Amino acid sequence: MNKSQWELFVHFWENGKYEEAVEVQLESEPRGGLNVVDKLFRSQGINSSATIAGFSFMDILYDYFMINPAVMDAIDFARSEDLASFFTFQQFAAGFDFDNAGELTRLKGYTAEQLVALELQGKGHDVSFPEASNQAGFDLIVDGQPFQVKCLGTPGGVYEHFRAYPDLPVLVNRELIPSLADHPLVYGTDVSNQTVEVITRSTLKHAAEFTELDIPMITLGISSLTNGYKVIRGGISTRIAGLNIANETAARGAGALAGKGIGLVLGPLFGPAGTVVLPMMLGMAGGYSGKKLTKYIKQLYTQKERDLVFNHLGILIGKVLQAFPKKETIKESKFQEANTLIKKHPTLRFLTGAFTEKHKEKLAYLINKKQELNNYQEKVKQQAIDLESDVPHILDTILKSQVHPSLFQKELTTFGESYNNLKKI
């Protein structure tokens, strides 16, 4: 987002043209992770005018309100200052005692939770906070699964969590992914510890000075949602596009891409099972006589081995499909709660129609992905797919299905292991 887009949004909003305001499109800039601050604070590049199709202020408001509808009661949304406060979590600063060092840690933790929640919501997951603000053991509920959120410089705090709660999974900042890539209950995000600290320091500064927030800080506040939307728009290809796959595989083989590097590339998408996913996404499971194994797969596979892979793939798709009824129920319940509050709000009530249309759009997308997976499942049962060429498309559909990978980690790992056994033939 740039200054002109924000000013256009505010212009419409303050003149009562709310529906026009929320349709203002936002620019496409690399956001999230370690380079977000650099991207935000340097001059605009040649791509600054590009837009993300369908990504507008309405998307932002929809996802914020679906995560935490109660935020509507905290802000009157009548002025640009209120809007800026909303987009950067400043409205909650009054609840912290900034003279207390422990409160500063709590503020950073709160900021991290908000950014992680927004990233996941942007990916289409259904995210909420526990009813009790001091809930022991977890900070977020994602597609019905409780998660602890950790945003740290070192993994020590994650290990402490598992000593107390060995079965509760953790969402971590991207800097921690390499050191925790092998842990079965650790799921990476694209949220950066650096970004969280910048927002936390900004909260302190603006709470002390009562000054108007600047555009870069507002942009930081929505950066996680942007990262999530990119997954829905572009799928896995957006993650591996930056890898020089041809050179890597030619020089060192597919095995060179294994390990911690995969965690950074696919960990935020598929969790710990990312280590078995990347080879499939590249359309290979290893090397055979210096060539891609896919050329020899049909000759080398026994029928028993093919049946096993098809069986595991069917189980994986079935496990993902099992999550849809609950997701649809959660999404509808959260919409009804948020929509009720919007209708009663003195300003937001003018967005009732736009909010409802956005919900229909999101729900239609979810139902479409469910149908795609149902179609794939029928083809898998009949072994009517080509394993080598169709598996990447199936995995991409699973990613875009908006079901959190924690709900199908076991099945994805099992399928990945059977598929990658091609290496051993």
- 262 inside domain: no
Q: Residue 189: what pLDDT?
A: 93
A 10 A CB-CB count for 330 gives 18
Same domain, 207 and 309: no
Range 210-223 burial, b when 16+ CB lie within 10 A, else e: eeebebbbbbbbbb
Same domain, 69 and 15: yes
- 265 inside domain: no
Q: How confident is the model at residue 16 (pLDDT cuts 50, 70, 90)?
A: very high
Same domain, 44 and 133: yes
State the average pLDDT for the chain: 78
Q: Strands across the sheet with 127-128, in order?
A: 127-128, 140-142, 145-150, 170-172, 186-188
Q: Residue 75: what pLDDT?
A: 75
Q: Is 237 exposed, middle or buried (0-12, 13-18, 19+ CB in 10 A)?
A: exposed
Same domain, 207 and 301: no
Q: Residue 44: what pLDDT?
A: 35
Q: Residue 263: what pLDDT?
A: 57
Same domain, 201 and 286: no
Among 82-91, 127-136, 226-235, 383-392, the least confident range? 82-91
Amino acid at residue number 175: E
How far is 420 from 297, CA to CA, in rounded Å? 12
Which phi-psi region, left, alpha or beta, contains residue 33 (left: φ > 0; alpha: ψ -120 to 50)? left
* Residue where a domain terminates, one of 180, 213, 234: 234
How far is 90 from 382, CA to CA, in rounded Å? 55
**DSSP annotation of 160:** H
Q: Residue 38: what pLDDT?
A: 32
Q: How confident is the model at residue 258 (pLDDT cuts 50, 70, 90)?
A: very low
Count the domains in the chain: 2
**DSSP annotation of 213:** P
N-to-C CA span, the chain: 51
How far is 282 from 250, CA to CA, in rounded Å? 13
- 268 inside domain: no
- 208 inside domain: yes
- Residues of the chain with pLDDT > 70, as a percent, come to 71
Q: Residue 82: what pLDDT?
A: 72
Same domain, 156 and 103: yes
Q: Residue 153: what pLDDT?
A: 93
Range 166-198 burial, b when 16+ CB lie within 10 A, else e: eebbbbbbbbbbeebbebebbbbbbbbbbbbbb
Structure tokens at 328: 């649809």
Same domain, 221 and 120: yes
Instruction: Identify the domain containing residue 67 by its residue range.
Output: 3-234
Q: How confident is the model at residue 77 (pLDDT cuts 50, 70, 90)?
A: confident
Q: Which residue has the higher pLDDT, 255 or 327?
A: 327
- 266 inside domain: no
331-370 pLDDT, tens digit each: 999 999 999 999 999 999 999 999 999 999 999 999 999 9
Spatial contact of 280 and 417, defined as CB atoms under 8 Å apart? no
- 185 inside domain: yes
- 410 inside domain: yes
177-211 pLDDT, tens digit each: 989 988 999 999 999 999 888 888 776 665 544 34
In this predicted structure, the answer to whether residue 377 has a pLDDT above a threshold of 90 is yes
Q: pTM value?
A: 0.82
234-253 pLDDT, tens digit each: 777 666 554 443 334 333 44
Same domain, 307 and 166: no
131-164 pLDDT, tens digit each: 877 788 999 999 999 999 999 999 999 999 999 9
Amino acid at residue number 153: G
Q: How confident is the model at residue 424 (pLDDT cuts 50, 70, 90)?
A: low
Structure tokens at 321: 């499909």
Same domain, 49 and 103: yes
| CA 69 to chain CA centroid, nearest Å | 20
Structure tokens at 291: 């060539």
- Residues of the chain with pLDDT > 90, as a percent, come to 44
Look-up: residue for tokens 């090397």?
A: 287
19-68 pLDDT, tens digit each: 999 999 875 443 333 333 333 333 333 233 333 445 788 998 999 999 98
- 419 inside domain: yes
How far is 302 from 417, CA to CA, in rounded Å? 16
Same domain, 217 and 313: no
Q: Could you tell me whether strands 25-27 and 51-56 are parallel, antiparallel, or unpaired per DSSP bridges?
A: antiparallel
How far is 102 from 31, CA to CA, in rounded Å? 29
98-110 pLDDT, tens digit each: 666 677 788 888 8
Spatial contact of 328 and 32, defined as CB atoms under 8 Å apart? no
Same domain, 171 and 282: no
Same domain, 224 and 314: no
